[in-house]
Structure 1
């Protein structure tokens, strides 16, 4: 429903004229449920993108809070707050709430600086590299089998044909194709092997990883499509904040008297 100017003015006047007790959404057996609590829940629901703010949403939240209050009062009557398990859970919840408040305060007062964000992004670019590689491989169970495959390739066998014997069943039927990827996507011994190859070249020696022994071929290279700073900034900020928090926590642990 859309308010016309005159009706909106009357609504505002009515709100201003309400007595103080009207700041409660409801009163259940003498226990008030503040409107602020409804507002907080509505704000959370809207922020999560579940529903837009509306009278229907607010009524639904109000009814839910009333139902929870009724249940809470009944639980208190039956003495459940004195149950040992409930007490333990309450202590744990209280600890989490208080710690979260500490974390929010620390993050607010120790924001990640633009210089740190840019430096981390530059480190990411260096680690990522400026090239993508189109790589193929044949996975063998042992070094001897891998060397035998290399010998067959030198003898004129086709890589795609021998790849059908690969222990990597996911790529065996596609000629050992690992598609385009950055070196950082692979274990370092594997990536070190193919970045040193020329286009179309097969590695002279098998490469060992936890998966087995690989015969590696480089099909081609192209400039890498590295994500921009703006694209990665939220992830970088989150990572740097986590590092700050971890260092803060470790410093407090060092100072604590722990027996």
Structure 2
């Protein structure tokens, strides 16, 4: 069964799971928001269907709006009919419904207030300023692209240096003689910055110029290395476009938590245990 068909089949259940939508009749509709249905005289506007579409799970938004429109409209119609029938049955007057409605109203009021506060604090300018702050120390660091040949003894390393000085290809020699895990890849270590390699290796590698090779074996805890630097570059931070979603989400969480904490600090709160006795 396709999503559109399943939505038609279970429309009421789907739409009742969404946040409340404005389905009541109101002033004359705008030209760009026509009436798309009436249910016992009550209008359903195109904007109601658009809002329902926006509240669907992300995977369902892959279905084009025009294609899913009939199914969403059917769901709104069914929801409106079910709500009308519930009112006739006076379900909305029952204590259980009133209690749930009160709880929902408080949650909606609270989330709406926090959302407004977050939107006030987390502006585009504020997000850009946070990006500039975060990336200020990320750029400007040097990285090198190096290869190495790892050998068990100093004499073996010296022999390899002699072969390379005589014209042997570094990558091919690494494939044949390196005992390190990068050997099959021609000794390629990719780009790395300071602090990512053991100190002896790092010191020797960063001392080389682009295209340079160590003229003496470098001893580390892993063995004896012959190192060649393929390239040098300055590390660039991620772009604003790459980091913006993550930064915005982080700032929204921070703003919401700070606002809630402020409400707590201004309130008189007393907590009790499960048995009703005062909590310590």
TM-score (norm 1): 0.50
Higher helix share: 1
User: How does the TM-score come out when normalised to structure 2?
Assistant: 0.47
Larger radius of gyration: 2
